[in-house]
Amino acid sequence: MSSIPALEADIAERRTRLARTLNELTARATPSAIAKRQVDQAKARFADATTTPEGDLRVERVAAAVAVVAVILAIKVLRGRR
């Protein structure tokens, strides 16, 4: 059977770990932390889509994306003139 001081020490240690875990979860759940994770994920997806595994630029994909943006902008400009 454990002694009272040993049990008290165990409880104190568990309380400290629980407080640390709650602080970490609270920090992860803040809107700014969530937004930062989303931005980081978007940057990673963009990098994956525009570069090869060796780090070279995928010119054809970048050119296609630029063409799509140009077409969308042209449509908006033409609609705005009506």
Write the DSSP symbol of residue 68: H
Q: Which residues contact 39 (CB under 8 A, 6 or more apart)?
A: none
For the chain, give the longest Cα–Cα distance.
86
| Per-residue confidence (pLDDT) for residue 55, from 0 to 100 | 86
Q: Quote the CA–CA distance of 23 and 28 in Å, as a whole number.
A: 9
Report the mean per-residue pLDDT for the chain: 92
Question: Does the pLDDT at position 18 exceed 70?
Answer: yes
